[in-house]
Amino acid sequence: MPAVSIEHYENFPVASLLCPPGLRPAVAAIYHFARTADDIADEGDATAEQRRGELQAYRADLDAAVAGRAPSARWAERVFVPLARVILEYRLPAAELHALLDAFEQDLWKTDYADTAELLRYCRNSANPVGRLLLHLYEVDDAAALARSDAICTALQLINFWQDASRDGPRGRVYAPADALARHGVSAADLRACRDSPAARALIRELCAEAETLMRDGAPLVHRVPGRAGWELRLVVQGGLRILAKIRAMDFDTLRRRPALTAFDLPPMLWAALRMGGRP
C-alpha cells in the first residue's frame, strides 16, 4: 500500500517491485489521479479561486470517467483514460475518489483545526480513501481490515504532518489541533514561524505518540493483504515507524529540520518487516 500522504509519496513505494505486476497499472492510475489533483491544489502561483475552478473541472472529468463518457482532453491521456479502464475493470468505488478531491478542495481554505476529531475527519478524506481503494484491488473488504487500513493511512498522514512542520508553517498551515496547542502553551503563530521551544517539542512528541499508536493498531493488516502486496505494506508500516524514530532521535525538532528516509534506512526497515511474522 503506498503512502497516503499524496505529497510526492517520497517516503514510501508506489507500484514498487513488491506490488503484484498485474495490479501495477491500476495502482499507478490511482496514484496519477491523486498526484495530479494535489498539484492542482498546491503547486504554482494560481489563486485559491483559480485552483478551485481547476479542481471542479477535474471533478467533472472524474464524473465522466465513472459514467463511461469521454473526459476533456486536458488530463485525459495521463489521468482519466487509464483511470476509466481501472474503474470499469475493478469497479472502483467512486466515492473514495471524490473524497480525495474533497480534501484537496478543503486545503484551499482551511489552514487550522480545532481538535483531534476535526483533524481526523480531514484525514478520513485526505488519506483513508487511498488505502480503501487499494484494499478493493486486493479484494479485501471486511470491516476489520478497512478499520486497520484507515488507522495506517491516517497515521501516515499525521506522520507526514509532523515530519513536515518546517515546511507547512511558512505556508501558513497548522495541522496541530488548537486544543493540543493550548495544552502545551504553544500558539499557531509559533508554528507558522517555526519557533522552536521545549513546549513545541513536547507538543510534537505528543502528536507523534498518537500517530504511532494508530500505526501499531493498524499493523496487523499486513497479515490480511495477500502475497507481495502484503510485504509492500510491511515496508510502508515500517517506513512510517522509521520516520517517527528519526523524529525522536532529533528530539522532536521538526520545526527547524525535516527528517527523511535514505538508502541506509532500508536494511533496518527490512529486518523490522521480517520480524512482523507470518499470519496469526
Location of C-alpha cell 514498487: 16
Confidence of residue 279 (pLDDT cuts 50, 70, 90): low
**C-alpha dist (Å) from residue 117 to 78, 114, 123, 180:** 36, 8, 10, 12
What integer pLDDT is reported at residue 81 of this predicted model? 97
Report the C-alpha gap between 111 and 44 in whole angstroms. Answer: 18
What integer pLDDT is reported at residue 18 of this predicted model? 65
What integer pLDDT is reported at residue 44 of this predicted model? 80
**C-alpha dist (Å) from residue 179 to 55, 159, 187, 210:** 31, 19, 10, 14
For the ranges 143-147, 211-215, 227-231, the lowest mean pLDDT is seen at 227-231
Q: Can you give the C-alpha Rg of the chain in angstroms?
A: 19
User: What is the SS3 assignment for the chain?
Assistant: CCCCCCCCCCCCCCCCCCCCHHHHHHHHHHHHHHHHHHHHHHCCCCCHHHHHHHHHHHHHHHHHHHHCCCCCCCCHHHHHHHHHHHHHHHCCCHHHHHHHHHHHHHCCCCCCCCCHHHHHHHHHHHCHHHHHHHHHHCCCCCHHHHHHHHHHHHHHHHHHHHHCHHHHCCCCCCCCCHHHHHHHCCCHHHHHCCCCCHHHHHHHHHHHHHHHHHHHHHHHHHHCCCHHHHHHHHHHHHHHHHHHHHHHHCCCCCCCCCCCCCHHHHHHHHHHHHCCCCCC
Report the C-alpha gap between 131 and 5 in whole angstroms. Answer: 11
What integer pLDDT is reported at residue 97 of this predicted model? 97
pLDDT per position as a tens digit, 37-64: 999 998 888 899 999 999 999 999 999 9
Looking at the chain, the whole-number percentage of residues with pLDDT higher than 90 is 82
Residue 123 cell numbers, joined: 484525514
Residue 110 cell numbers, joined: 482551511
Q: Within a 13 Å sphere around the CA of 133, how many CA atoms are in the beta-carbon half?
A: 31
Confidence of residue 16 (pLDDT cuts 50, 70, 90): low
Report the C-alpha gap between 45 and 51 in whole angstroms. Answer: 10
**C-alpha dist (Å) from residue 64 to 30, 68, 100, 248, 258:** 16, 6, 17, 46, 40
CA diameter of the chain: 56
What integer pLDDT is reported at residue 45 of this predicted model? 85
- Reply yes or no on whether the pLDDT at 103 is more than 80: yes
Q: Within a 13 Å sphere around the CA of 9, how many CA atoms are in the beta-carbon half?
A: 24
Which domains are delineated in the chain?
Answer: 13-109 (no CATH), 111-280 (1.10.600.10)
Residue 259 cell numbers, joined: 527528517
Confidence of residue 135 (pLDDT cuts 50, 70, 90): very high
